[in-house]
Chain A
Amino acid sequence: MIARLRKYLPGGRWAVIAPPYFWMLLFFAVPFLIALKISFSSIVIAMPPYTPLTEWVGDTLQLKLNLKNYLFLLRDPLYVNAYLSSLKIALISTLLCLLVGYPIAYAIARLPAASRNTALMLVVLPSWTSFLIRIYAWIGILKNNGLLNNFLIWLGVIDEPLKILHTPVAVYIGIVYAYLPFMILPLYTNLVKHDHRLIEAAYDLGCRPWQAFLRITLPLSRAGIIAGSMLVMIPAVGEFVIPELMGGADTLMIGRQLWVEFFNNRDWPVASAVAIVMLVLLIVPMMIFHHYQSKELEGRLA
């Protein structure tokens, strides 16, 4: 009897697949659909503060898709500028991260095997302490009467304190500092696999070190560069904490704008529309990231 029933029950495989699958579908995928739905409704003063999309009028079920929120985002230069400036800030910080992270990852990959893991641990260790606290540390350094300004005045390099905190420069420093490990780890994973004999062969054939780097190491590390850049760029576009604490009032970033719409203006429909547009902008970078990430995982599946 039980054996016969078993035939109709999903196999043991599904007992392993179902719990994580169901969890992520319900709590990660479905929420985006709900955000999409609410982005088409209008704000009302009620709890929850948005109107339903469907309504019974007599015998007909009416579906009202309100495009007002999207038109608002399109027409208000604040939002267009916020999207553009988020993309710009994220791109520049990613580039800076790459410039700072690549030499470090390269140097770690060339260390003797025994010390590589220790060096990697030292790279990751700061990110196990609090993110907020790392940002807080830089506020103390970059303030007008902070350590950096005091130090430069003491050296006699400057007479007036430089205004760094609450400018875009501070945001770049914050993002590079906070996201650096995410750049270094995938770069290292890639660089450590390179066969150094290729470089030696290039040297033997008369290549200069920088030529060998540009022609061999750099192209071979493409996958690592892309993975690291995506890991930095995508979350940086939606970053809230760093522009809020280190940027100025005029540092526009879309994550900050979403926060303001949701928490200060309590306009859930517009906040949802902001999120959906951000998601649409990020979908291509996310697919690129997913492509490299799944190749990394499934490539090893024999």
Chain B
Amino acid sequence: MNATKPSWFSHSALALGFAFLYLPMLILIIYSFNESRLVTVWSGFSLKWYGELFRDQQMIDAAKVSLQIAFMTACASVVLGTMAAMVMTRFRQFPGKAMFSALMTAPLVMPEVITGLSILLLFVAMGQTFGLFQERGVTTIWIAHVTFCVAFVTVVISSRMSELDRSLEEAAMDLGANRVKVFFLITLPIIAPALASGWLLAFTLSLDDLVISSFVSGPSSTTLPMKVFSSVRMGVSPKINALATLMIAIVSIAAFLGWWLMAREEKQRQRDMQLALQQGG
């Protein structure tokens, strides 16, 4: 769509939309600095809830478990997701391709309670039959998270791969490079930004998951969302506001850095292109 003069309609749609998305977050942040225990009455500026948050050893342990699982999930999902994206965008027919693509899109929409329950039943059945996964915990949560994250990572990477100019790969192939070499020397560097965003997406999805983790966790592996959920169920607490503010701050900083790096790279690319054009002319 070509950019046209934005109308009052567009302006107000954007203003209202962003207000709807960001006002609740803003309120959350403001009240994290509230002195009072009551989340809705302002009684003065204080950092005490941050102090309480960092003294909550259970919360910190849960955060460690979650970060560890999210890191392992993101790494495995990017490896499997890149393979799946290759298959979806580069491979023509093979027996079972329809099934393959169904397996890669269904997790995008599958209700979490169904995925969580079913994979737990698998772990239990494997425990009975092969003696595997007797102890549920970090490993079972990791497997379950990778299973739903791969689908999201595959979407991100395959949309980048299908936009990619194939002539580079074909040229390398004509010059005698085999497929493996072409992948590592040509394709991989080009899709690297998509791998990075896929990694981050899987990391945040895993860090955020409550339902699937609740089904497949064991007694010694409480994740951060499980801890937050049980404390929100008890009622609102400014400690959760403090935690929310920290999360929002980290995500915003990461997003800003990513945006800034991309913008810089884009500027550099345009400058290079102009330079090349001038030299050519």
Which of A20, A121, A137, A238 lies at the interface centre, i.e. has the most chain B CB atoms within 10 A of its CB?
A: A20
B89 and A301 contacting across the interface, CB-CB below 8 Å: yes
Could you tell me if A28 and B20 are in contact, using CB atoms closer than 8 angstroms? no
Q: Which of B1-40 contact A (CB under 8 A)?
A: 1-4, 6, 9-11, 13-14, 17-18, 20-22, 24-25, 27-28, 31, 39-40
Given contacts A110-B1, A132-B210, A132-B225, contact A297 B89 (CB under 8 A): yes
Q: Does A238 lie within 8 Å of B162, measured CB to CB? A: no
Task: Determine the residue in chain B with the shortest Cβ distance to A109.
Answer: B1
* Chain B residues, Cβ within 8 Å of A252: none
Q: Are A31 and B179 in contact (CB under 8 A)?
A: no
**B192 near A: Cβ within 8 Å?**
no
Whether A27 sits at the interface, judged by CB under 8 Å, is: yes
Taking CB as reference atom, which chain B residue is nearest A245? B232
User: Could you tell me the dominant secondary structure of chain A's interface residues?
Assistant: helix
Q: Please, what's the 1-or-0 string for B162-173, where 1 marks a CB less than 8 Å from any CB in chain A?
A: 110010000000
Decide if A255 touches B113 in the complex (CB within 8 Å).
yes
Residues of A within 8 A of B69 (CB): none
Report the bound CA distance from A34 to B121 in whole Å.
Answer: 7
In the assembled complex, how far is the CB of residue B197 from the closest CB belonging to chain A, in whole angstroms?
11
Q: Which of B80, B91, B112, B232 contacts A23 (CB 8 A)?
A: B80
Would you call A166 an interface residue if the criterion is a C-beta within 8 Å of the partner chain's C-beta atoms?
A: no
Q: Are B100 and A21 in contact (CB under 8 A)?
A: yes
Q: Any chain B CB within 8 A of the CB of A125?
A: yes
- Is B146 close to A, CB under 8 A? yes
Please determine whether A297 and B158 come into contact, CB atoms closer than 8 angstroms: yes
- The 8 Å CB contact of A129, one of B9, B102, B229, B244, is B244
Given contacts A110-B6, A136-B240, A140-B40, contact A240 B247 (CB under 8 A): no
Contact A122 B18 (CB under 8 A): yes
Cα(A194)–Cα(B4), bound, Å = 13
Please count the residue pairs between chain A and chain B whose beta carbons lie under 8 angstroms apart in the complex. Answer: 271
* Given A35-B121, A140-B39, A301-B89, also A240-B251 (CB < 8 A): no
Whether A28 pairs with B27 at a CB distance below 8 angstroms is no
Contact A231-B25, Cβ < 8 Å, known A34-B121, A113-B3, A241-B210: no
Chain A residues whose C-beta falls within 8 Å of the C-beta of B261 in the assembled complex: none
Interface size on A, as a range, is 35 or more
Interface contact A126-B106, CB-CB below 8 Å: no
**A98 adjacent to chain B (CB < 8 Å):** no
Q: A110-B6, A238-B112 provided; 8 other pairs, C-beta below 8 A?
A: A26-B122, A28-B115, A35-B118, A107-B11, A195-B1, A196-B4, A279-B114, A289-B108
CB-based closest 4 A-B pairs: A238-B111, A31-B118, A103-B13, A107-B10
Binding site for B on A (CB under 8 A): 12-13, 16-17, 19-21, 23-32, 34-35, 38, 48, 100, 103-104, 106-113, 117-119, 121-123, 125-126, 128-141, 143, 145-147, 150, 177, 180, 191-197, 230-231, 234-235, 237-241, 244-245, 255, 258-259, 262-263, 268, 271-272, 275, 278-279, 282, 285-286, 289-290, 293-294, 297-298, 300-302
What are 8 of the A-B contact pairs (CB < 8 Å)?
Answer: A25-B103, A106-B10, A132-B228, A196-B4, A234-B110, A263-B214, A286-B109, A294-B101
